[in-house]
């Protein structure tokens, strides 16, 4: 029985290619597509139909897969991606497309570079996006309903009598000093590594 035709289009990616490039299982990539967490551009309408994703789906998969590698459940990686996309929806896909076109990517894929974007999750609940050590956007309790407008910021909502901040800056100043767990990801570097991996996949 003949196998599926290889996808030679450099700007479109199958779920199998994405799975290898972002270090998620093929089933998890398909599941993310089925739940519309990864946008597909064609296929997926029935058994045997190839799902194809463009650079936007690829970039979202990178963020989800990178945080999953760091120890967050995939569902939380999705929420981080959603939060980042609310502020950087064009920049990350554009950066990934640029990396995909670079020939000498190996030298930069595994080191921090000026202008890199970082995303840090504190205590599994709070998210800060930074560039050059400057906060681009901060999300107290990114796990909450994104439509919910938080007016009061609790230092630890799981503890009765937890300290309360009415000012977001004071809340994050306190959090940065006292957070018990911190997961910091160089999102730009993750995109470069995934782009390098995809270049190798497309050449094979």
Asked whether the predicted pLDDT for residue 8 surpasses 90, the reply is: no
d(CA 55, CA 50): 16
pLDDT of residue 6: 66
* 124 domain residue, yes or no: yes
Average pLDDT over residues 77-91: 88
Residue 133 belongs to a domain: yes
d(C-alpha 36, C-alpha 128), whole Å: 25
In this structure, is residue 2 part of a structural domain?
no
Does position 153 have pLDDT exceeding 80, yes or no?
Answer: no
Whether 193 is in a domain gets the answer yes
The predicted-structure confidence for 190-204, as pLDDT tens digits, reads as follows: 999 999 999 999 987
What is the rounded CA–CA span in Å between residue 65 and residue 25? 10
Q: What is the mean pLDDT of residues 122-126?
A: 86
User: Which residues constitute the domain of residue 171?
Assistant: 13-203
Q: What pLDDT, in 10s, does the model give residues 164-177? A: 677 778 888 888 88
Beta partners for residue 131, in sequence order: 117, 134
Residue 102 lies in a domain: yes
**Does 143 map to a domain?**
yes
Kindly tell me if the per-residue pLDDT of 120 is higher than 50: yes
With respect to residue 74, please indicate whether it lies within any of the assigned structural domains.
yes
Q: Is the pLDDT of residue 145 over 60?
A: no
- Can you count the helices (H) and strands (E) in the chain? 7, 8
pLDDT at 148: 52
Domain count, the chain: 1
Of the pLDDT bands very low, low, confident and very high (cuts 50, 70, 90), residue 1 is very low
Burial, 130: exposed, middle or buried (Cβ in 10 Å; 0-12, 13-18, 19+)? middle
In a domain, 28, yes or no: yes
Report d(CA 150, CA 184) in Å as an integer. Answer: 24
pLDDT of residue 40 exceeding 90, the answer is yes
The answer on pLDDT for 37 being more than 70 is yes
């Amino acid at each position: 029985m003949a196998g599926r035709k290889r996808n030679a289009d450099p700007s479109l990616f199958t779920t199998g290619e994405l799975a290898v490039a972002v270090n998620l299982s093929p089933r998890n990539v398909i599941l993310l597509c089925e739940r519309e967490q990864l946008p597909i551009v064609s296929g997926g309408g029935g058994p045997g139909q190839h799902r194809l994703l463009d650079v936007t789906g690829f970039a979202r998969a990178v963020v989800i897969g990178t945080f999953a590698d760091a120890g967050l459940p995939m569902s939380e990686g999705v929420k981080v991606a959603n939060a980042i996309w609310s502020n950087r929806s064009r920049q990350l896909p554009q950066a990934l497309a640029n990396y995909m076109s670079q020939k000498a990517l190996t030298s930069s894929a595994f080191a921090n570079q000026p202008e890199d974007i970082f995303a840090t999750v504190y205590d599994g609940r709070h998210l800060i996006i930074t560039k050059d050590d400057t906060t681009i956007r901060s999300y107290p309790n990114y796990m909450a309903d994104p439509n919910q407008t938080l007016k009061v910021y609790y230092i630890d909502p799981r503890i009765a009598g937890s300290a309360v901040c009415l000012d977001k800056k004071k809340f994050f100043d306190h959090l940065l000093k006292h957070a018990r767990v911190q997961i910091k990801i160089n999102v730009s570097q993750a995109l470069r590594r995934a782009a390098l991996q995809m270049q190798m996949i497309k050449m094979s």
